Amino acid sequence: MRPTHLLDAAGLGYAIKPVCECGHSVAFDPMGLWWHFERRGWDDHLPKVRLRFWCVMCRSKLRRKVRPIRLEVVDISSNDFTLPRPDERTWKKYSRSLR
Ligand SMILES: [Zn+2]
């Protein structure tokens, strides 16, 4: 089963890795990333999620925001960039709605 939303990715334990055409990529911890989107009311459907990212390398070089060419779903690793996660209770409430 492959995740289609950030909430699925967090529930299934996959990190999300936007990949830029310049080759730069960073994998994100799914739970912190999902919570970042949830708190802002952003759509966590993965094709929409891609459009929220831009490459920091291209930003500093070209001085414009370059969207990643794709999002990869990868195994979680200890090197993943981790945004603040929801507390346990909040996570339980949301993750119950997972199928
Ligand atoms: Zn780039």
Per-residue model confidence as pLDDT tens digits over 1-12: 789 999 999 999
For residue 46, give the H/E element and its range: helix 46-50
* Ligand 1 centroid distance, CA of 99 (Å): 35
pLDDT at residue 99 in the model: 61
Report the alpha-carbon distance of residue 72 to residue 6 in Å, rounded.
12
- Parse the chain into domains and list their residue ranges: 6-77
Report the alpha-carbon distance of residue 63 to residue 66 in Å, rounded.
9
* Ligand 1 centroid distance, CA of 70 (Å): 12
Banded model confidence at residue 27, pLDDT cuts 50, 70, 90: very high
Task: Count Cβ atoms below 10 Å from residue 83 Cβ, excluding itself.
Answer: 15
Banded model confidence at residue 25, pLDDT cuts 50, 70, 90: very high
**Model confidence, pTM:** 0.92
* Ligand 1 centroid distance, CA of 7 (Å): 26
Report the alpha-carbon distance of residue 37 to residue 60 in Å, rounded.
24
* Ligand 1 centroid distance, CA of 97 (Å): 35
Crossing angle between the packed helical segments 30-40 and 88-95, to the nearest 10 degrees: 80
* Ligand 1 centroid distance, CA of 50 (Å): 13
